[in-house]
Amino acid sequence: MIQLPEVIKGAVEALTRLPGVGEKTAFRMVMNMTNWKSSELTSVGSALASLQHLKLCQECGMFADDNLCSICANETRQHTQTLCVVENASDLMAIEKSGTFKGVYHILGGVLNPLLGVGPDELKMDVLRDKIIKNQIQEIILAVNPSVEGDATCSYMKSILPETVQVERIGFGVPIGGSLEYLDPMTITKALENRKRF
Amino acid sequence: MIQLPEVIKGAVEALTRLPGVGEKTAFRMVMNMTNWKSSELTSVGSALASLQHLKLCQECGMFADDNLCSICANETRQHTQTLCVVENASDLMAIEKSGTFKGVYHILGGVLNPLLGVGPDELKMDVLRDKIIKNQIQEIILAVNPSVEGDATCSYMKSILPETVQVERIGFGVPIGGSLEYLDPMTITKALENRKRF
């Protein structure tokens, strides 16, 4: 078997750390990169390394160029009435894509998970509660994914908030374009529970 | 639509240059990388950038840690009798994996392709001819892929070599584990032409 140079092994090993990239894919990528110019390799290397300088919005925890993200810095958004609580940045972006929510967000950074040692302190739930009270937010939309941990997180959030704050959770049911015949029983149950007068 | 920070855009753009990585995949990778430690990001970045310091074997053109690759530096290989000519490093490694070839290689770096401006000079065919004559190599195995350009390259190679050198091309036919019913007519034609007394 041929002995490959250390730089190739190192690059393959580095790429396999990316999600969805196995050793074969990483190797194919590196073989392609061996044909690149030095400047291209340098720019890709530094673009990835510079992710460590990524800032987070001081208000909501979203990625930001500055102290505030583009949503929190946007004065046309409603900053006080409704707050949408999400697990992570990807969930936030999915909601933004729908274009229907005009308020601001709060990124939890995860859900309560005692087995992984994630408690209310890790998610800074007290900071969130204080922010909600201080900003006199009237409505909380919990856009947390449906799972045992997500449900527990929602219950805990409701329990620590004053009763004057209206807490809501996003609706669960049949996704648009979905087909009843292929959906799981839990979703069907939720869809039946969440039926609306037509 | 949310405005993402420049570092994220830069990293996504960098990853889309990898083969088989589209914008969605790159974005998913970057989202994952935002959870990485600074040291991990630095090491991946520098591992990829350091591919520019990759050396090539002075003898065969294969990737090497030093002046010679592990095959050319290996004294147990036959260095003079048979030379196997391949298009690129990946092809060389595929042959090495079979474990049947005990000689040394020469990497062409491509095939003749007048439309892309690749002629005998670009592939340094005269250097290869001089090497073959100087090293008194008796047998050349052309392990070049079957294509119009590959066929032309083989014909050209044979034409520039002295008649004392035996030039051979790897066999074409039904791959092991392959099924006749799914193979293309060209492969079947080759398999019939290349039949052997059983």
Q: In Å, how far are A19, A87, A125 from A159, measured between CA atoms? A: 36, 18, 11
> Is B186 at the interface with chain A, CB within 8 A?
no
For residue A58, the chain B residues in CB contact (below 8 A) are: none
pLDDT tens-digit map of B125-158: 999 999 999 988 999 999 999 999 999 999 999 9
* Residues A16, A24: Cα–Cα separation, whole Å: 9
* Domain formed by B75-193, architecture: 3-Layer(aba) Sandwich (3.40)
pLDDT reading at B1 higher than 80: no
pLDDT reading at A1 higher than 80: no
pLDDT tens-digit map of A21-40: 999 999 999 999 999 999 99
What ipTM does this complex have? 0.79
Contact B94, B139 (CB under 8 A): no
> Is A20 at the interface with chain B, CB within 8 A?
yes
Task: For chain B, give the number of residues.
Answer: 198
Q: Of B60, B32, B40, B27, which Cα lies nearest the Cα of B127?
A: B60
Structure tokens that stand for A31 in this block: 């073989």
The full set of domain ranges for chain A reads: 6-53, 75-193
CATH of A6-53, one of 1.10.8.420, 3.40.50.720, 3.10.450.50, 3.40.50.300: 1.10.8.420
Decide if B31 and A89 are in contact by the 8 Å CB cutoff. Answer: yes
**What per-residue confidence (pLDDT) applies to A132?**
92
For residue A69, the chain B residues in CB contact (below 8 A) are: 2
Residue in A with minimal Cα distance to B71: A2
pLDDT reading at A154 higher than 80: yes
- Residue B177 — left, alpha, or beta (φ > 0 → left; ψ -120 to 50 → alpha)? left
**What per-residue confidence (pLDDT) applies to A196?**
86
Helix axes B23-33, B6-16, angle to 10 degrees: 130
Decide if B69 and A2 are in contact by the 8 Å CB cutoff. Answer: yes
> Is A42 at the interface with chain B, CB within 8 A?
yes
Average pLDDT, chain A: 92
pLDDT tens-digit map of B60-79: 999 998 899 999 999 999 88
Decide if A41 and B52 are in contact by the 8 Å CB cutoff. Answer: yes
Decide if A10 and B41 are in contact by the 8 Å CB cutoff. Answer: no
Give yes or no on whether A6-53 and A75-193 have one common fold. Answer: no
Decide if A46 and B45 are in contact by the 8 Å CB cutoff. Answer: yes
